[in-house]
Amino acid sequence: MIGKPAWDDSKPVLRPARVTDLPAIYRGELGYIRQWEPQHEQAWQMAAERHLAQWVENFERLTIVCVDDQLVGYSLWADELGHAELYTLHVSEAYRRRGIGQMLVGAYIDSARQVGFETLSLHVRADNPARRLYERAGFAHLGANALGYLHYELQVAD
């Protein structure tokens, strides 16, 4: 079929992170800051070492989605005071609205549930369209924090 996107021939594949994924994750996070929170870019850059440490400390909770061996998305969650907190979820712009975000949210839920977490949470900007993805996955909006990020939770049981 003429004009058929190449990725249609390949299925997205979830896999654990590799050390070699860290530069792409860095670029994805920086791209998010530049698009959604440009006023925070300098502070984010100054905290780059802290971000890297967070990614490494939670490396086993870093999930990658590839299409034809190309990283097109990732998510990271961590144990935050006894609940599973989604720190980040990113899908490359060219691959959005194709189910990859849904795959990553599902992997987060499954992974956190498998290690015994019953409360899963996340924070997202009110103007970020990804909040609809979280709502469709069953996360309930519980309010906003002092910075204006919406707080969502999902209760899961085995």
**Contact, 119 vs 138, CB < 8 A?**
no
C-alpha to C-alpha distances, 16 to 6, 68, 133, 146, nearest whole angstrom: 24, 16, 22, 33
Low-confidence ranges of the chain (pLDDT < 50): 1-7
pLDDT value of position 4: 43
Q: Tell me, what's the pLDDT at 2?
A: 41
Q: In this structure, what token pair is assigned to residue 138? A: 């069953």
What's the pLDDT at 36? 87
Contacts of 25 (CB under 8 A, 6+ apart): 17, 55, 62, 74, 76, 90
Domain ranges across the chain: 6-114
CA atoms within 13 A on the CB side of 27: 11
Q: What is the pLDDT of residue 6?
A: 47
pLDDT value of residue 8: 57
Helix axes 22-36, 48-57, angle to 10 degrees: 130
Q: Which CATH architecture has domain 6-114?
A: 3-Layer(aba) Sandwich (3.40)
Length of the chain: 158
pLDDT at residue 1, rounded to an integer? 36
